Amino acid sequence: MIQTFTSATYHQICDTLASRDLDLQRVLDLYGYPPMWTRPNNFETLVHIILEQQVSLASALAALNKLRAHLGKVEPEAFLALSDETLRSCYFSRQKARYTRILAEAMATGRINLSEMEKLPDHEIRSRLGALTGIGNWTIDVYLMFALQRGDLFPAGDLAAVNALKALKGLAKDTGRDIILEKAAAWAPYRTAGTMILWHFYLSMRAKPSVISGL
């Protein structure tokens, strides 16, 4: 069964998690519900996520906006027509230009069909997208969470989520991946909402110091 969430169920899922985890409850008490971060299930969204790999969100958005200014609508065929020089002017590194061209070619030829992804289980989507150079687990996790609203994912490669979990749970900075995944596993089958609470906590802490004990 494909586990998803909607705007109608999101707050209820957050409440369910908070009833099971007092640390998450304290985040909701302090900062309210996290935004339900979503993006359309289209080529532009995957381009945006590729641009976000290992850079700040602001830098990625600046590059995406430059690309939008050139193309209007960001679609595979139009992207493939852009020169290396144009992509450099849009702040694409050589590596990310290559990754995005590979994705665009896969979509233009029908090898990847994002509409079909909506009906596929997570593991099949991971297999199909992961076969493309430059699309790894973090990119796929964010796509599943934001574009398809899949409900039980924890992106172990996301530093903000991992660091927020360590802070919230009072874990040492060198805590290993196995422990992190074990903590997140306690939120199944709602790990996506748990992650969004972590991101909300992380962003809120940066904007305003936390008053949670021990942080």
3-state secondary structure 75-87: CHHHHHCCCHHHH
**Residue 26 binned pLDDT confidence (cut-offs 50, 70, 90):** very high
Instruction: Indicate the pTM of the whole model.
Output: 0.93
User: pLDDT tens digits, residue range 32-67?
Assistant: 999 999 999 999 999 999 999 999 999 999 999 999
Q: Domain 10-35+154-207, what fold?
A: Endonuclease Iii, domain 2 (1.10.1670)
Matching CATH topology for 10-35+154-207 and 43-146?
A: no
Q: Show me where the domains of the chain are located.
A: 10-35+154-207, 43-146
Neighbouring C-alpha atoms within 13 Å toward the C-beta of 114:
21
Span 122-176, pLDDT tens digits: 999 999 999 999 999 999 999 999 999 999 999 999 999 999 999 999 999 999 9
Q: Which helix (H) or strand (E) holds 60?
A: helix 57-71
The CATH code belonging to domain 43-146 is: 1.10.340.30
What the block records as the tokens of 14 is 């957050």
